[in-house]
Amino acid sequence: MTAWIWPWSQPQSPCSPAGTKLDHSHSVPKKSYFERLGLFSELPSYDGPFDVGCYDMEWQWEPGTFAVGANKATTPIPTVEDTNREPSSPRYTLVRLYYPADVVGTEIRPTWIPQPIDVYLNGYLGATKLPSMAKSLITKLVTTSIKLPAYLDAKLARPNQPATGDQPHQGAPMSDKPPVALPPRLPVVFFIHGLYSCRTTYSTLCGQLASYGFLVCAFEFRDGSSSVTHTPNQTVYHTPLPTNQGLDIRQKQQAHRLEELQAGYQLLK
């Protein structure tokens, strides 16, 4: 297990009970070979009438805070031994919010693979049986090459604000569609990833919903199912489960996910 710290967490505490925005300004990745050639520089635009913003947030909560079923979920999560954390130590939840945005033109478009890209990419490639040389080549080709058609840390669009997705930067003209305005309260979607995934793996689906006026909260679970995820000062990679322990660990993972989902609900509430 390799320990690392988020590059944007150095100047401040990693998280706070109220939730902390992750500052991406401290890490500017180099351009990839594909990006230098102008290939695969951006995923397809979303179809909805609104521009899409995205915003990373991490916050701390205490284990056992949220009820799961009839009991409190105080059972240690599967990665407790791997991360050298006690069952009673604080838990951290990391999400990416996708939402209809008010774009002013100065925002940047984030890479599809989050920072630090090499760590996340190694997590994805860990699911393959490719030789090390092939993995190294893929890393050099893909690094920073694929960007999202969303705007990092853009302002949330105001209620009753007309859609701005007909601007040239959004893609196809929307002149043939009726005007759309946001309601006072946005419908919320909690998106749950599968194995070897993270908060950006299903960004096309999350962004598509956001372009139609939804607030999508995409979790990056700390239950050992992500390709790789951050805990304070450490990294947890996805680990294949022994056959005879799979069911027991999956049940613990489900309990942990329920706690994280309820933590997310309380934050947005």
Confidence of residue 28 (pLDDT cuts 50, 70, 90): very low
Residue ranges per domain, the chain? 34-268
Mean pLDDT of the chain: 69
Query: Read out DSSP for 205-260?
Result: HHHHHHHTT-EEEEEE-SSS-BSEEEETTEEEE--PPPGGGHHHHHHHHHHHHHHH
Average pLDDT of span 182-199 = 85
Residue-wise pLDDT for 40-97, tens only, equals 567 889 999 999 999 998 877 666 555 544 344 444 444 433 334 444 556 778 889 9
34-268: CATH homologous superfamily? Alpha/Beta hydrolase fold, catalytic domain (3.40.50.1820)
Average pLDDT of span 191-204 = 84
Q: Which residue has the higher pLDDT, 171 or 228?
A: 228
Token duo for residue 69: 């079923």
State which H helix or E strand residue 32 sits in.
none
Residue-wise pLDDT for 140-185, tens only, equals 666 657 889 999 999 999 887 667 654 444 443 333 445 678 888 8
- Among residues of the chain, what percentage have pLDDT more than 70? 54
Residue reference for tokens 């997310």: 264
